[in-house]
Structure formats: C-alpha cells, structure tokens
Amino acid sequence: MEKKHIYEQLLPQMAALIEGETEEMSVLANVAALLKDRFGWFWTGFYLVRDGELRVGPFQGPVACMHIARGRGVCGSAWQQRQTIVVDDVERFPGHIACSSLSRSEIVVPIFRGNGDVAGVIDVDSTELSTFDDTDAEGLQQVAQLIAKTLYQQ
C-alpha cells in the first residue's frame, strides 16, 4: 500500500485512539506502537523537552540515547530550528548522534504546545537510506498536531 494511503487510514484511527486522553506517556506509547506497527520502521518514538534538554520518552525499537542537547544531532536540531528535518543519510548529517550504527536515515518532527513552545519531537529511524520523504513529513506533522491537540494545548 502506498504511504499516503497508510497515513490517510492511520490518522483517523489515531485520533479516535487518543481523543480525550490526558496521560502523556500512555498516549505517546500507543502512538509509537501504532506507527511502528503500520510502517515497520527501525526506531519510532519521542524525545521530550525536560530541564533544558531532550529526554527519551516512549518508543518502539532498540535502546536509545537518553539525553540530547538543544541543537545536537537531528533531534536537537529540529527542536532548535522548530522545523521538520528529513535526513537521507545520517552519515552526512553534521553532528549526527549515533544511538545505533544500524540507523541510516531519519526524520524528526517537532510537537508544539499551545503557547508555541516545543514539547518534544517525534523521531523515526530506518535501516535503509532515503526512507523518508515529503509524504512522511506531512503525515508525521499531522500526527504531531493530533498529539499537540490532545496533550499540549493548555
């Protein structure tokens, strides 16, 4: 099935799953599991802004880096720049943090609070080069908006 159609089916299901929920870890854990299940990516999860750094949140995949500084790696850069970053080859990204040597490409999408601050990021890694594209950027930005609407609008 084409990626665009997977996102079209996934987003309403995700919205129904998390609607009205307020427990951050439960929502993020289920979203990570749903994304991993539908796409089969190598690593799918969240880093949350805590005490001036990103800290690993719920995820699906192998063990992860636990702390990421603002502006470091793809996650810290997406947080600092407040924008989605798609990396076709992580070896070519300056300052890439290699939590796993198996990761080859990555996409990171910020999640915004109602006041405009970044609450955290969605981080997805693949073992293949050039896995992520504009379809993923758009789809995961919609996922981030659903999470923000559910958890971070206050």
DSSP string, 88-132: S-GGGSTT---S-TT--EEEEEEEE-TTS-EEEEEEEEESSTT--
pLDDT band at 93 (very low <50, low <70, confident <90, very high): confident
> What class has domain 3-151?
alpha beta
pLDDT band at 117 (very low <50, low <70, confident <90, very high): very high
pLDDT band at 154 (very low <50, low <70, confident <90, very high): low
Q: What is the pLDDT of residues 46-87, one digit of tens each?
A: 999 999 999 999 999 999 989 999 999 999 999 999 999 999
Rounded to whole angstroms, what are the CA distances from 154 to 80, 114, 116, 118, 151?
22, 6, 11, 13, 8
pLDDT band at 136 (very low <50, low <70, confident <90, very high): very high
DSSP secondary structure code for residue 21 in this structure: -
pLDDT band at 141 (very low <50, low <70, confident <90, very high): very high
Residue 11 main-chain phi, psi, to 5 deg:
-60, -45
- Confidence (pLDDT) at 94: 77
